[in-house]
């Protein structure tokens, strides 16, 4: 078992190996994620509406 100070030293060393994305890359990836989330939400909403119509037609028959 290592000491907490040794652990934190290794964590700090590992942080030097991280390659952070540029602001432009981070922004473009964020916009892609938002677009995909909106598209999926719209698709699920549309399917929910359509299945609701089908079920209401079956229930009223």
pLDDT of residue 2: 79
pTM for the predicted model, two decimal places: 0.69
User: For the chain, which ranges sit under pLDDT 50?
Assistant: none
pLDDT of residue 20: 93
pLDDT of residue 42: 98
In the DSSP assignment, the letter for residue 19 is -
pLDDT of residue 1: 72
Alpha carbons 56 and 35: distance in angstroms, whole number: 31
pLDDT of residue 25: 98
pLDDT of residue 46: 98
Cβ proximity of 43 and 51 under 8 Å: no
């Amino acid at each position: 078992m290592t000491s907490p100070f040794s652990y934190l030293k290794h964590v700090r060393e590992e942080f030097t190996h991280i390659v952070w994305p540029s602001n432009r890359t981070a922004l473009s990836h964020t916009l892609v994620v938002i677009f995909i989330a909106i598209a999926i939400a719209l698709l699920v909403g549309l399917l929910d509406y359509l299945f609701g119509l089908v079920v209401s037609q079956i229930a009223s028959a």
